[in-house]
Every structure is written in structure tokens, then in C-alpha cells.
Structure 1
Amino acid sequence: MSDDLTGTTEIRLCCLLWARPGQEAGLAAYEDTVLALVAEHGGEVLQRAASDGADGHPHEVQLYRFGSSGDLDGYLADPRRTALAAERDRVVERTELFPVQVR
């Protein structure tokens, strides 16, 4: 995280996602939809990687940054995103989200 000249703090996050059994494609499709909204909220998807989920590993790993906590809050509250809550619950079994420093 770093301060810019306006005093806002950039946020960098890692998100680990596990699909419900048999919903790997559904998880990817849901993420395609909601991650398309990130840029509209001052964010950027830095990296997105998929795995087969073997041995309990996540099915998807994402790294992204937001210009400020307000930008992140705006993304999380976006009505297009929140309208998909039932779809998310249907395809996503577990999520871990935590701040990181990208080196």
C-alpha cells in the first residue's frame, strides 16, 4: 500500500476462490462478469490464475489493486455485482480475501 499525493492509500488484494463441486465453469463465468466492473471503480485486475482445485487448492487466484478504500467499497456495493449474490452463492463455496504487497 502506498500513499499518493492526495493522501489516499492504494489497496492491493489477493483473492482465493473455491468452486462448489461441479461449478468450476460457473465460478469462472461469475468472476468474468464481476471482475469486468473493477476498472469502473478505480481498480485493476493485476493477475488471474486458474487451477484444477486438486488437493484442496483454490480454483482461482486473483491479484488486484484499488486506488483507495472508497474505490473498493464502491466496487463491493455496485448494484450490478450485488444483484448476482444468488449466482455467487450457487457457484462459489469459499473465498479468502486479504491485503498483499506486490513485489
Structure 2
Amino acid sequence: MSLRICVLLWPRSGRDTELHDYEDSVLPLLADHRGAVVARERVVRASDADPAELQVIELADQDSFDSYMRDPRRIALDDRRSAAIERTQILNLE
């Protein structure tokens, strides 16, 4: 059974570019955890209430997602993430 999620990302004020750059660094790691990006889109924001980026990600299972989240290479970039990303929402998809 596969796991499909939608990730919504909101930047810290004025940090849209840093958000996208951070994601450029960590999303390739998904391949090492039996995952892949199905879609990645920049959102045309009508207001700051809208996310700046939307991702649809597919992984083999919950263990694959958990492994990705614990990846030391990803964790090593937590400072960049904290500086760029204000909020993240993850939605499970059918």
C-alpha cells in the first residue's frame, strides 16, 4: 500500500525564495526512502494566508515517510528550514 500526501508550505515573511531553495535540497532525498514527488507547484498567492508551495508526494508506506523525516541529511538542514518556513500542513490523500 502506498502513502500519498499533500504538503502545503508557508514562508516566513519575505522568505519565499529560501523556502523553495530549502525544498530543492531536501526533496531529492525522498528517492532514498522509496518516495517521489508527484507534483510540485508554486502557488499564486492572493494573500499571506495562502501557502507558497504545494507538493504531492508518494511513498511506499508510513515507515518510508518516517525514515525520510529522520534522515540525518534532512535534519542537518533544520536551521535553513526554520529560517525559511513559517508553517507546514500535511494532508493524507486517497
Please classify the TM superposition score into its range, dividing by the shorter chain length: over 0.9
- Distance in structure 1 (CA, Å) of the matches to 2:7 and 2:45: 15
Q: Percent identity?
A: 38
Would you tell me which structure has more strand in proportion to its own residues?
Answer: 2
Gaps of 5+ in 2: none
2:25 to 20, 33, 37: 33
Moved more, 61-70 or 45-54: 45-54
Larger radius of gyration: 1
Give CA deviations for 1:40-86 in whole Å, capped at 9, x if unaligned: 11001000000243322100000011001111111100000011111
> Which residue of 2 is the match for residue 81 of structure 1?
74
CA positional deviation for 1:28: 0.2
1:15-54 to structure 2, matched below 5 A, reads: 15-54=7-46
TM-score, length-normalised on structure 2? 0.94
1:57 to 50, 59, 68: 50
User: May I ask how many residue pairs the two structures share in their alignment?
Assistant: 93
Are the counterparts in 2 of residues 18 and 53 from structure 1 also a CA contact under 8 Å? no
TM-score, length-normalised on structure 1? 0.86
- Distance in structure 1 (CA, Å) of the matches to 2:38 and 2:56: 5
Gaps of 5+ in 1: 1-8
